[in-house]
Amino acid sequence: MGKMLVASSEFNCSNEILSIASMLSVPNCFVRPREAQKAADEAKARFGHIDGDHLTLLNVYHAYKQNSDDQSWCYENFVNHRALKSADNVRQQLVRIMNRFSLRLCSTDLNSRDYYINIRKAMLSGYFCRRDSEMTYEVICVTVLGSSSG
């Protein structure tokens, strides 16, 4: 996740990646009470993003902040206020770390077609597996002795 945060400055989306990383660092924010499962599912769907759960979490965090950390808003939208408050605290800690390393805090304009593209690029650069060019592979043949049939 650290690499994703570092890369986010290069893709002009560090504010969004900070929010995603903080949401991934806390327990599930969605609440689904037995007596209101359908309403909870509908509420979750309103936050949903076609490109996946990470962007859904970003939508939840943005909505939470736009509603001024309102506990009643959380209740009405079936999200866990404590988890979101915790994510906000984690985000503040991550901001301090990024500032300590002089990493730029920035965002692409929400109306830009590159907004979600930049976020996905930063996420992929953080999670992309790198293969060591010096790594060698070998095939090992194994013969199994004995038989359990019969």
Residue-level pLDDT at 138 = 60
Phi, psi angles (nearest 5°) of residue 17: -65, -35
| pTM attached to this predicted model | 0.82
Q: Are 12 and 106 in contact (CB under 8 A)?
A: yes
Query: Whole-angstrom Cα distance, residue 34 to residue 3?
Result: 39
Per-residue DSSP letter, 46: H
Cα 103 to the center of its chain, rounded Å = 19
* Residue 129 binned pLDDT confidence (cut-offs 50, 70, 90): low
* Residue 2: predicted pLDDT: 86
Q: Tokens 């690499």, residue?
A: 3
pLDDT of residue 26: 96
Checking if the pLDDT of 120 tops 70, the result is: yes
Per-residue model confidence as pLDDT tens digits over 64-109: 999 988 999 999 999 999 999 999 999 999 999 999 999 999 999 9
